Structure 1
Amino acid sequence: MYLKSRVKIPDVHGKLIRLRRGDITYIKYEYDRYYNPEKKYTYPQRATIGKVCADDDTMMIPNEAFLKYFPDAVLSDMEDRTERSSCLRVGTYAAIHKIVSNYSLDKMLGQFFSKRDMALLLDLASYFIVEESNVAQHYPDYAYNHPLYSSGMKIYSDASVSDFFKSITKDKSTGFLNEWNAKRNRRERIYISYDSTNKNCQAGEIELAEFGHAKADIGSAIINYSVGYDLKNKEPLFYEAYPGSINDVSQLRAMLGRITGYGYKKIGFILDRGYFSRGNIRYLDECGYSFVIMAKGTSSFISDLILENKGTFENKRSCDMNAYGVYGKTVQKTLFEGDEKKRYIHIYHSISKDADERESFENALRERTALLMSHQNETVEFGSAYEKYFYLHYDKDGVFLYPEEKTTVTEREISLCGYFV
């Protein structure tokens, strides 16, 4: 909650940064640093302590966190601002309100939340969409100059927002998702785009936070999060949060069970390469679902298939995918040993992707060569990323002499640039 005061921006060299979001510049204070011994990197820990005054960039309006880190600071009073801005930004509210009305979201949410909580939830959802942020401390600033669903357009503090999120139980979330999916038409065929990601979590005592395969590994536990989306009707269907240690392959089966529980029958799936595995493909067959799945280009079967068909379609106008800027070819083959039916395997080549991937690969190769050469005549060991592309020559005492490029490996990788399956 921001205080009705002004204060000189503290002069603490190297501890403050300014972060601009829209018309407001926030002041963040670095109160600690976290050193990750595995990454050998230090991560700053920061908190928002206020926002810069619009009429004086040397002054700031502090929040309650400011008093925690600067308890002896002298605050100057300022005139009370009106409860709401004299000019409200109504455009996005009108668009969001139309969606809420068309889908009867307020009535649906009203089955699981009190009138007050339902209105606050819609206000927060609008805030997340409009500001592209979920920082609770910034919500009062959004609420000051935007229309709200809350009774009397009341502006709730960031502490109230935090308390509200704590009050949302699993039963309420599940109940809403069940009701939402009950309204969908189960007779028509739909194509569900399903993907997941993960978020680093440094907070303690969160049951879902576990160590797993993070996309941006900073050495902390992670929470996995996935979304199912109906591509045909352009509607989200459900979301899931699950422990960080569970991988994409394991989660797919749980998701398919959930879809069945919602009553969907005529379904096709569009899946990312993270779900490409023999087990998942067999399970999709057993359930009778059709699917389109991005193949992992690093698998030997896929790279062999690309090289087998290389040169047979890339320059043929009949294979031009027109609006997509790629050339394509479809072949029928079994995917793996023991596969009981032939699959339609679509091979694509992009000229722009070819150029970008080749440039990136050759730059990386040059950088690795330069690094290896900088360690000549030293006793040093290199990781698998170097051994994949180079023969590393040492003398009898273990002193590194010189690298020799594995041209058969690098030329094969270059020949695969621009292709995807």
Structure 2
Amino acid sequence: MGIIYQTNKKTGITYAYQNESYWDKEKQQSRANRKLLGKVDSASGTIIPTRAYKKMSQSVESSSVKPGPVAMTKYQRSFFGATYLFDQIGKSLGITTDLKSCFPNDYKKIQSIAYYLILEENNSMSRFSHWQKLHIHPYGEDIVSQRSSELFQSINEENRMRFFEKQGKRRIEKEYWAFDTTSISSYSETLSQVKKGRNKEHDRLPQINLALLFGEESGLPFYYRKLAGNITDVKTIKQLMSEFDVMGYKKVRIVLDRGFYSKKNVDLLYKNHQKFLVGVKLGLNYIKSVLEEERANLRLWSNLKTQFGTYGICRQIDWDYEQERPYKGDTIKDTRRAYLLLFYNPEKAAKDQSDMNDYLTRLYNDLIDGTRKDYCGRDYDKYFTVTETPKRGRKVVPKEEAMREAANNYGYFALLSNEVNDPFEALSIYRSKDIVEKGFGNLKERLNFRRMQVSSELSLNGKLFVGFIALIYLSYVKKKMQDAGLFDKWTLQGLLDELDVIELFEAPTHGRVLGEVTEKQTELYHALGVEPPSL
């Protein structure tokens, strides 16, 4: 059960409806019952009840709820320290406020499940009942499996996008945003976006793709999007720009891996006036030309930054900009200023050579054994010639010219930007996109999202959203730990366990009594930017 919002186009008034999803056995599809709650105040965002609903609510409240605080009826001792930490993070980042605004009936359930996903690493929702008996958490009650499924199905697209918009505006223009995608395998045969596609792990299961957007300085995620499993990275930028526009994100500064590079994508970024930093392949003609001119200069001592162990230079270039105008049937052609940033790293050169030698050996063995891999298809023909005769059998000959060309670029890499012209500032920003990879790792491993075991689109959408909320809290803690140097002494799990043992004792007629908070725990709270608990 959740709340959806609809705006009357004639009056401009937005109404809130209580939405309850159910499964129609005859039509074999999800349906919903809606009940009008009231109109939404444009200034505060609160719901002003209609007369019937207000009267009904007052009737229920007067008959079942007595004024004043709810009396404690039983003795209870619960773990409190870790969930208290998340409560304070939720307040400081605006997560609680934004969730309450977008999901007024369910925000506490969403937070409680998010806390559980973080603290009970790799556990399924079936363990929530046990966990919640031992912990203080926002919802304060059990969420059985059926109720959690209903919660996931009630999280609709409109409220999800409103949450992204609110979170993004808290940090817009303050930092570069790193964007990347990953794959999540699924056993389901009923999800429409589960498709066979390529992934870095060469998993044979069908998959969906997930795109994540992180702030490079804050280390926090604030947007994600689910994609069909056969969608490649390079095709996602146009949709990303469209959704930025929907959410009102202007003047965005974005960092992209080279898998997102294409001329059309860069043209689109220019068209939308977005500041960007994107990885580019050395094989592109305009990059090869500049690199050959600058190869000797690039490796001079004056271009070395010992902090990075890397040489770097910047060349201003003219970008050949094109914009198709379908409504006029023509194409605008112009030039735009761009900065090509070239780098050489000796350690990377040695690693590139070692990795390439291993890769070529695997390709050669596959060809000898007749065990070609689909994901290596082009490289077999690029680096080897295969002949086979009845007498001499199969013969695999290396294409040395192609291998020499690859070896010539060991240790080199390039970035393209329309804003950053300092090579090492650009390198620092670009390396920060690793936080997205770490975010994917947290989502898949710690939050148990490596295999999505859901049977409906609605459940998948809702579960991903709650997992995303958990990822915000988790990313905040990890960033604070990194900034404070806590990983030298603590693991993430060890730190959360250290705080989790702080108890809260509740007793009838006596109220709440906070358990002991040690000096070590106090120091941890302060390092994480949170005041220690007190009653």
- TM-score if structure 2 supplies the norm length? 0.53
In structure 1, the gaps of 5 or more residues are: 1-82, 376-381
CA distance in 1, matches of 2:181, 2:220: 17
Residues 109 and 401 from structure 1, CA distance in 2 versus in 1: closer, same or farther, beyond 3 angstroms?
A: closer
> Does 1:184 find its partner at 2:184?
no
Aligned to 1:244: 229
- State which of 330, 338, 344 in structure 2 corresponds to 1:343: 338
Aligned Cα root-mean-square deviation (Å): 3.3
Report SS of the residue matched to 2:189: coil
Which digits, 9 at most, give the CA deviation of each residue in 1:190-223, with x for residues without a partner? 4222222222222132233334444444444432
Question: % of aligned pairs identical?
Answer: 21
The alpha-carbon distance between structure 1 residues 104 and 283, as it changes in their structure 2 partners (threshold 3 A), is: closer
Q: How does 1:195-274 map onto structure 2 within 5 Å?
A: 195-274=180-259
Q: What residue in structure 2 maps to residue 75 of structure 1?
A: none
CA contact (8 A) 1:127 1:133 kept: no
CA contact (8 A) 1:227 1:238 kept: yes
Structure with the largest fraction of helix: 2
| Mapped partners of 2:349, 2:111: distance in 1 | 45
Q: Partner letter of residue 94 of structure 1?
A: Y
| Equivalent position of 1:168 in the other structure | 155
- In structure 1, distance between residues paired with 2:165 and 2:78: 39
Report the counterpart of residue 386 of structure 2 in structure 1: 392
- Deviations 1:302-325 (CA, angstroms, capped at 9, x unpaired): 4564455333322x3321233222
Runs ≥4 residues deviating over 6 A: 336-339
- Structure 1 residue 265: deviation in Å? 2.6
Q: Report the Cα distance in structure 2 between the residues aligned to 1:176 and 1:374, rounded to whole angstroms.
A: 53
Cα deviation, 1:256-280, whole Å, max 9, x if unaligned, reads 1222233333322211112200001
Cα distance between partner residues in 2 of 1:99 and 1:259: 26
* d(CA) in 2 for partners of 1:195, 1:105: 23
Aligned to 2:408: 415
Change over 3 Å in CA distance of 1:410–1:100 after alignment to 2 = same
Q: Which residue of 1 aligns with 2:354?
A: 359
| Contact 1:330-1:347 within 8 A present in 2 as well | yes
Q: Write the distance in 2 (CA, Å) between the matches of 1:392 and 1:146.
A: 64
Q: How far apart, CA to CA, are the structure 2 residues paired with 1:286 and 1:185?
A: 23
- Distance in 2 of aligned mates of 1:176 and 1:404: 57
Stretch of structure 1 that moved more, 202-211 or 334-343: 334-343
Q: Would the alpha carbon gap of residues 215 and 162 (structure 1) be closer, same or farther in structure 2, given more than 3 Å must change?
A: farther
* Contact 1:389/1:409, CA 8 A, preserved across alignment: yes
Q: How far apart, in 2, do the equivalents of 1:84 and 1:310 lie? A: 74
Are 2:115 and 1:121 equivalent residues in the alignment? no
RCO higher in structure (CA 8 A, sep ≥6): 2
CA distance in structure 1 between the partners assigned to 2:384 and 2:289 by the alignment: 22
Q: Deviations over 1:113-150 (max 9, x none)?
A: 354x3222111212333345473234445435443112
- Equivalent residues in 2 for 1:29-48, closer than 5 Å: none
Q: Where do 5+ consecutive residues of structure 2 fail to align?
A: 1-73, 322-332, 371-375, 415-535
Which residue type is aligned with residue 148 of structure 2?
V
The letter of the residue matching 1:156 is I
Query: For the Cα contact (< 8 Å) 1:392–1:400, is it kept in 2?
Result: no
Q: How does 1:13-52 map to 2 (within 5 A)?
A: none
Query: Residue 293 of structure 1: CA displacement?
Result: 0.3
Query: For residues 85 and 355 of structure 1, what CA distance do their matches in structure 2 show?
Result: 61
